[in-house]
Structure 1
Amino acid sequence: MANGSRMAAWEHWGAELKYRRELAGLTQGELGRRVFVSGGYIGQFEQAIRKPQLDVAIRIDEVLQTDGFFERAWRKLIDDKRYADYFAAAADLERLATKICEFESMITPGLLQTSAYTRALTLANNPFADDEYIEDRVRARMDRAGILKEATRPEYWVVLHEAALRVPVGGSAVMAAQLEHIAQLMRERKTLVQVLPFAAGACAQMGKSLKLMEFEDAPPTAYTEAVYSGNLLDDPAVVKRAQGTYDLLRAAALSTEASLPLIESAAEDYRRCETTT
């Protein structure tokens, strides 16, 4: 489904929610309380500013007695096979974000990946997949990364653990090109990257990832990921704690000015390995 068609479908979802809510004689606040979100969130769902999570759609069906309508519609709209089910909603939110702050402990974040790096990662996770599957995933990742090329691109901040620079995903040539790509985006001021060095020792979110997203007309959201699962968090107290965690990571990391030469040096090391093998 094209982005424009998908947005129109979400607007229809929101309009139907408003119609069914008013038919039940409930205010946004009353419905929100019954499905465990704020009335403001119900208003954002109705205006298609924010997309609900699946469990909220299911509770809306239960409260409004709509026989699974909102759950079925949600599954149809969010069912983008290019992304894992648990990540599809977060991928949609990336395109709406005005600011994205991200931490990765072992790999380059998706929005910064080159196609060769993505291909190597996807193959490592799916060693028996056919070429069509692999290339579909690569195209989806490159489509996501395209938001950094747009005039309306979000502010993009990244804290990248030094381990992500040293693990040779795809081999020396792929890693050299990947790190050169990050350095180029930094020089073009399309992203701010800080490296969290090994010397920093133990850190918050050790071995985990964290993505924070801010929006023009909606509250901020945090996204974390585990093995074959993801958590899209929008509880204000939880998001505030996640923002505090990110602040700790940023404070422990090198400055962007010190990070750029480290990334460039790592790229040069991989280039030397490539020429000697």
Structure 2
Amino acid sequence: MANKPNTGLSFAQGKVGWPFFGSELKRRREAASLTQQQLGDRVYVSGAYIGLIEAAVRKPRFDLARRIDSELGTDGLLARMCKELIDSSPHAPYFADAAALEVEAVTIGEYAPTRIPGLLQTEEYVRALMAPSAALLLDSTLVETRIRARTDRAALLDEPTRPVLWVVLHETVLRVPVGGPALMARQLTHVTDLVRRERILVQVLPFSEDAHAASGSMFVLMTFEDAPPVAYTEGQYSGQLLDTPAMVAKYQQSYDLIRAAALSPKASLALVASVAEEYRK
């Protein structure tokens, strides 16, 4: 397995980490004389999923941690650890689990209908996106933490080959000038530089394509060496991580249709470079 990039963020952020959470879950489960499958049956997940949590490959949602506490008689211990780990993440709470999995992914496929994906965003683009939040929240420390967390994610692309990142941008992403024309020119040039380095694949879904080819919200598909794939979808103030095979398969089908309708990688690169040049004029 290739060495994972140093993102500047600990995979386990709090006083306890997800590996400790997993080992504690395993210890408490074995003390209760339950197999992974037996515990999974009691809390409505698969035994394999319990195994992934114990190996720190998957992170439980808070409600699942509470159900496990109830079954194991652990007086809320696992739920408290889970909440601490979620709350200590520098990312928005709804994205924290997806951000942790992103570091482990072998492939990442993303459809972006409205903005440049986080892994490809320059710091000035991030700041322009977060300017309304900064004005609304009046919490400069939180805003700066979120900005740094997002820009640190780009360190994943310092690895020469992993993860394989394939992004489909709706043409709207290119045409809406976040932060003004000069900033957009630099942001799009950053994208084209990554493509020309053969570090990422980018396609553009053009305005000319039938509306049915496009999805209304962004979504991400991630695959892993030793764990099932997941999908993540996000709205303006919420996100959802999906790992049920049926739902992941539906998002994969949508992604395949979108890629088929998009411009070729070569034509897409030419369009992104052309729009960047238009912004410079």
| TM-score (normalised: structure 2) | 0.91
Q: How does 1:109-258 map to 2 (within 5 A)?
A: 109-128=117-136, 129-151=138-160, 153-204=162-213, 206-258=215-267
Counterpart contact for 2:160–2:199, Cα < 8 Å = no
Q: How many residues align?
A: 272
CA shift in 2, pair 1:245/1:2, >3 Å: closer
- 1:275 corresponds in structure 2 to none
- 2:52 corresponds in structure 1 to 44
Aligned mates of 1:176, 1:151 — CA distance in 2: 25
- 1:267 corresponds in structure 2 to 276
TM superposition outliers: structure 1 runs of 4+ over 6 Å: none
- 1:101 corresponds in structure 2 to 109
Counterpart contact for 1:80–1:88, Cα < 8 Å = no
User: Which amino acid is 2:51 matched to?
Assistant: G
CA shift in 2, pair 1:13/1:131, >3 Å: closer
Structure 2 counterpart SS, 1:211: strand
Q: Which moved further from structure 2: 125-134 or 217-226?
A: 125-134
Structure 2 counterpart SS, 1:95: helix
Counterpart contact for 2:18–2:56, Cα < 8 Å = yes
- 1:87 corresponds in structure 2 to 95
CA shift in 2, pair 1:130/1:47, >3 Å: closer
Aligned mates of 1:139, 1:192 — CA distance in 2: 25
Aligned mates of 2:186, 2:86 — CA distance in 1: 33
Flag structure 1 segments of 5+ consecutive residues without an equivalent: 273-277
Aligned mates of 1:52, 1:77 — CA distance in 2: 11
Return the offset for 1:204: 4.6
- Alignment of 1:20 with 2:33, yes or no, is no
Q: Which moved further from structure 2: 100-109 or 221-230?
A: 221-230
Q: Which moved further from structure 2: 38-47 or 189-198?
A: 38-47
Return the offset for 1:63: 1.4
- Alignment of 1:31 with 2:39, yes or no, is yes
User: Which amino acid is 2:245 matched to?
Assistant: P
User: Which amino acid is 2:230 matched to?
Assistant: T
Percentage identity across paired residues of the two chains: 54
Flag structure 2 segments of 5+ consecutive residues without an equivalent: 1-7
Return the offset for 1:2: 5.4
Return the offset for 1:81: 4.7
Question: Which string of whole-angstrom CA distances, capped at 9 and with x for unpartnered residues, describes residues 93-125 of structure 1?
Answer: 100111100011010000000111100000134
Aligned mates of 1:196, 1:123 — CA distance in 2: 27
Structure 2 counterpart SS, 1:183: helix
Structure 2 counterpart SS, 1:86: coil
